[in-house]
């Protein structure tokens, strides 16, 4: 029974985590949401007062990075691991738009990236893992057997994220969500460290007009081809 590594990268709000969870549960693989890790460090920086509207004290954040403990703890009911920051469950807090507004700034820092990449590589060392993010197929697991790159129009993505935030009770406007999606994509694709780009050998999926079911079937076919 061969176990593989599945890397799912792409723009924000393309449904990477939904797809990754479906595939992981079908295959009995572990699922890791690397965005949650960048979000948790961002939340930490916000709580410490290192980052806020118009300011970012990167040096202070870098100086205490070693104190930041990130763990995924499996939740039976949800069927995936929830993000814990220094032993506190931050799963709800990290999804708020306030965190989304700063996360791409934090994710640009090379010290942050190397800390997280190392932890991610450790989690995937035995394969049998589906990991989603921005640099999984390019940096974290360049040898992954299957690499997917997900995209959709910015309008489609903003609409999905807007519905999701509203459903959770986060009071946002569609305009603010669209602006955040576009800003993050810009920073993520233009940064110097591990910019978001299509990995060699990745299969690109534009799901603007694909149902979740059709997308899942397509990916399971790709999995079958490499297994
Ligand atoms: O996946 P999600 O949208 O939750 O990720 C939040 C942010 O974290 C991204 O916009 C990006 O700036 C950063 N990120 C990253 N590398 C990853 C995963 C996320 O830079 N592997």
Residues of the chain under the 70 pLDDT cut: none
Question: What is the model's pLDDT at position 75?
Answer: 94
151 is in an annotated binding site: no
Q: How far apart are CA 155 and CA 162, in angstroms?
A: 10
Q: How would DSSP label each residue in 71-120?
A: EEEEETTTTEEEEEETTEE-TTGGGSHHHHHHHHHHTT-HHHHHHHHHHH
Quote the ligand 1 centre to 1 CA distance (angstroms): 32
By most ligand atoms within 8 Å of CB, the mutation choice from 134, 152, 194, 195 for ligand 1 is 134
Instruction: Judge whether 15 is annotated as a binding position.
Output: yes
The pLDDT of residue 102: 98
- Reported pTM: 0.96
Per-residue model confidence (pLDDT) at position 108? 97
**Which residue, by CA, sits nearest to atom 21 of ligand 1?**
133
Q: How many residues does the chain have?
A: 227
Give the pLDDT confidence score for residue 1 in this predicted structure.
75
Measure 180 CA to ligand 1 centroid, in angstroms. 13
Strands 80-85 and 88-89: antiparallel
Is residue 195 within 8 A of residue 139, CB to CB? The reply is no
Give residue-wise pLDDT tens across range 159-185.
999 999 999 999 999 999 999 999 999
């Amino acid at each position: 029974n061969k176990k593989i590594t599945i890397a799912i990268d792409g723009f924000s709000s393309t449904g990477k985590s939904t797809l990754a969870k479906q595939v992981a549960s079908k295959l009995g693989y572990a699922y890791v949401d690397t965005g949650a890790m960048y979000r948790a460090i961002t939340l930490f920086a916000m709580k410490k007062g290192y980052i806020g509207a118009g300011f970012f004290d990167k040096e202070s954040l870098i100086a205490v990075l070693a104190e930041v403990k990130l763990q995924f703890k499996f939740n039976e009911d949800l069927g995936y691991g929830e993000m814990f920051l220094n032993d506190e469950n931050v799963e709800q807090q990290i999804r708020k738009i306030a965190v989304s507004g700063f996360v791409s700034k934090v994710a640009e820092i090379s010290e942050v990236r190397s800390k997280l990449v190392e932890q991610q590589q450790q989690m995937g060392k035995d394969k049998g893992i589906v990991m989603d993010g921005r640099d999984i197929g390019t940096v974290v697991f360049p040898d992954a057997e299957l690499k997917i790159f997900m995209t959709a129009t910015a309008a489609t993505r903003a609409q999905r994220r807007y519905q999701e935030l509203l459903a959770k009770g986060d009071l946002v406007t569609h305009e603010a969500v669209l602006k955040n999606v576009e800003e993050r994509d810009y920073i993520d694709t233009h940064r110097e460290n591990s910019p978001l780009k299509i990995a060699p050998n990745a299969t690109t999926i534009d799901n603007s007009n694909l149902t979740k079911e059709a997308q899942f079937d397509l990916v399971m076919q790709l999995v079958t081809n490499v297994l």
